[in-house]
Amino acid sequence: MMSKHREQTNRTKKRIEEAFYAITEERGLDAVNVRSLCQAAGISRGTFYLHYLDVYDLMDKLEEAVISGLEALPVQQKSEQLIDSAEQEQPFPSILQFFQYINEHHLFFKLWLHHDRSKFGVKLGQWLRARISEKMPMRRSGTEAAGAPAAFMMTYFHGAFFDVIRHWLDTGRELPLEEAALVLTRLIRNGPLQTALEGGE
């Protein structure tokens, strides 16, 4: 059973996090400072410093929590399995799971996808790029796997993957997450041209 002190700590941190996202959404990341956070969260500066060293420490903690959550996701599948599931009109389980996680943490990801990542989300960007690189199927050794240099392939996958997610978030997540995950599954599996041609049939 969680102690009263722990419950109070969690509530205070949640208020600080909610204040952080409210300020960034309304005025941008540059408007975030200890004073604005404390005013929005209804806490004293002393209370803030009980939990964080400064605003940068708060952002680091938020990022670390997201990375830990991603690492703990249960479904781990190889990209080759996506090709094997071509006849199944359902989202790839790991992609669906990723959308579910983003849906739960949409405030963080919306901020991360729209902000200069040299200031916020550097570690997450590096982590995701590494994961995408690990998942990319390489049919043969060398940089010309799958008919294109590996660096080009990775840039394409990384950019397209997160542009789709950014669009989903920017449109208020109107498309149900299962359908959004299926769209991304089709785009990754078939490519945008083939997906467009199939959609026009």
141-197: per-residue pLDDT in tens? Answer: 444 555 677 778 778 888 888 899 999 999 999 999 999 999 998 888 887 777 777
Q: What is the pLDDT of residues 8-62, one digit of tens each?
A: 999 999 999 999 999 999 999 999 999 999 999 999 999 999 999 999 999 999 9
| The dihedral sign for the CA sequence 150, 156, 159, 165 | negative
User: Global pTM?
Assistant: 0.83
Q: From residue 111, give the alpha-carbon distance in Å to each of 20, 68, 84, 98, 172.
A: 11, 18, 35, 17, 13
- The pair of three-digit structure tokens given for residue 72, joined into one six-digit string: 């703990």
Q: What is the pLDDT of residues 39-48, one digit of tens each?
A: 999 999 999 9
What pLDDT is stored for residue 201 in this prediction?
47
Would you say how long the chain is, in residues?
201
Q: Which of the four pLDDT bands, split at 50, 70 and 90, describes residue 117?
A: low
